[in-house]
Amino acid sequence: MFRHSTTRRATLGGLLALSAVRPLGAQESTKATIALLRLASSGPIFIAQEKGWFKEAGLELTMKDFQAAAQVPLAVVSGDADLGVTAFTAGFYNLAAKGGLVVVAAQSAERPGYQLNVIAVTNAAWDAGVRSVKDLVGKRVAVTTVGSSVHYSLEIVARKHGVDTKALTIVALQTIPNMVAAFKGGQVDAAVFPITTFRQVEAEGNGKPIAYVGDEVPWQLGAVFTSPKTVANRRPLVEKFLVGYRRGAAAYHLAFGKRENGKLIPGPNYDEMIGILSTVLKQPPERVAAGLPFIDPEGRLDVGDIYKQVAFWQSTGQVARDADPKAFIDLSFIQGHFNVPAK
């Protein structure tokens, strides 16, 4: 699997991308809507909107907020939004396989040093000797929903450690607040939490981390997508969006893309970028900084990993056997995608 190096070269790449991805010049404005979750993973969009980069690209962008990842692709399929950006799920792949969605660029990804999602255990489980993923056998582990990105994170980390998740009791609790309540109340032994949620739980004296997903198994967590109809009939809309989006991604990466020993090393534009996200997300800067995912500065996908995800969900019966990632990933909008399977 492709692993993006968070080195000086990556920072320089962000600088180059930020300078190279320029607006297309004066042109007729196009209206578009994008469905998203108000999370740090949507950061490049918030940054580009605040900086006026979508407008410079000729796009008048309206954002539609949703509360759950499953709602975002449905908004695109129904025509309620032109574009969407969120995490991959089994449900997403089923919609895409039926011809409802086309992936055009990368969103967030799990990478080493980026503490985005964490597997944590309760104090009681810790005291009982649950200190590693292997110790989860026979335990109750909370996720949001079956088929979600949280569920997938648990599956791939467990597999890395030789643990069959059939030996666990996976408890789908639908929402993060429900997971927190069950975790604190001892109804489960462990949970897969977003890091910002877990840090609050940890600060209250509840629970211990046993594995950070990005350090264990890097994977392509989310993407930018649209409908096949939009690609066919309104391609310039997608192109204009990606001009602004890639400028936002480059600025995001320059500010937040360097890590040393798992710690964020602020880039030269850090204060401005964290200020934008803090305002949009309505969270203090330190909380935003604790949950910043990796986002490729040019919007490039780890294509091979998407194939792996689809194959996994097919093996569990969550995604139809005839689902073909090649049919719903459009690599023509951005050059240089990673790990592209041979034709």
Specify the amino acid at residue 64. K
Contact 289, 264 (CB under 8 A): yes
Mean pLDDT score, 45-56: 98
Contact 160, 136 (CB under 8 A): no
Tens of pLDDT, residues 142-164: 999 999 999 999 999 999 999 99
Radius of gyration of the chain (CA): 20
Residue 6 has pLDDT above 50, yes or no: no
Residue 3 has pLDDT above 80, yes or no: no
Residue 118 has pLDDT above 90, yes or no: yes
Tell me the fold of 8-111+219-328. D-Maltodextrin-Binding Protein; domain 2 (3.40.190)
Please report how the helices 235-256 and 43-51 are oriented relative to each other, as an axis angle in degrees rounded to 10.
100
Mean pLDDT score, 45-54: 98
Greatest C-alpha distance within the chain: 65
**Predicted local confidence at residue 208, as pLDDT:** 96
123: nearest Cα among 200, 202, 213: 202
Close Cβ partners of 315 (under 8 Å, ≥ 6 residues apart): none
Tens of pLDDT, residues 232-246: 999 999 999 999 999
- 140-143 and 169-172 beta bridge pairing: parallel
Structure tokens at 64: 């539609």
pTM attached to this predicted model: 0.89
At 192 the three-state DSSP class reads strand
Contact 264, 292 (CB under 8 A): yes
Question: Which CATH number is associated with domain 117-216?
Answer: 3.40.190.10
**Predicted local confidence at residue 195, as pLDDT:** 87
At 283 the three-state DSSP class reads coil
Residue % of the chain over a pLDDT of 70: 92
Whole-number Å distance between alpha carbons of 155 and 30 = 42
**Predicted local confidence at residue 68, as pLDDT:** 82
Structure tokens at 222: 């989310």
Question: Phi then psi for 269, rounded to 5 degrees?
Answer: -105, 20
**Predicted local confidence at residue 24, as pLDDT:** 44
Domain spans, the chain: 8-111+219-328, 117-216
Place of tokens 């041979």: 342
**Predicted local confidence at residue 79, as pLDDT:** 96
At 321 the three-state DSSP class reads coil
Worst-scoring range by mean pLDDT, 189-198, 215-224, 332-341?
189-198
Residue 279, number of CB atoms within 10 A of its CB? 13
**Predicted local confidence at residue 286, as pLDDT:** 92
Residue 133 has pLDDT above 90, yes or no: yes
Mean pLDDT score, 168-186: 95
Contact 114, 293 (CB under 8 A): yes
Confidence of residue 69 (pLDDT cuts 50, 70, 90): confident
Mean pLDDT score, 207-234: 97
Mean pLDDT score, 197-224: 94
Mean pLDDT score, 186-192: 97
Place of tokens 């203090």: 284
Question: DSSP assignment, residue 292?
Answer: P
Confidence of residue 28 (pLDDT cuts 50, 70, 90): confident
Return the bridge partners of 109, or none. 220, 294
**Predicted local confidence at residue 196, as pLDDT:** 84
Residue 308, number of CB atoms within 10 A of its CB? 16
Whole-number Å distance between alpha carbons of 155 and 263 = 26
Tell me whether the CATH fold assigned to 8-111+219-328 matches the one assigned to 117-216: yes
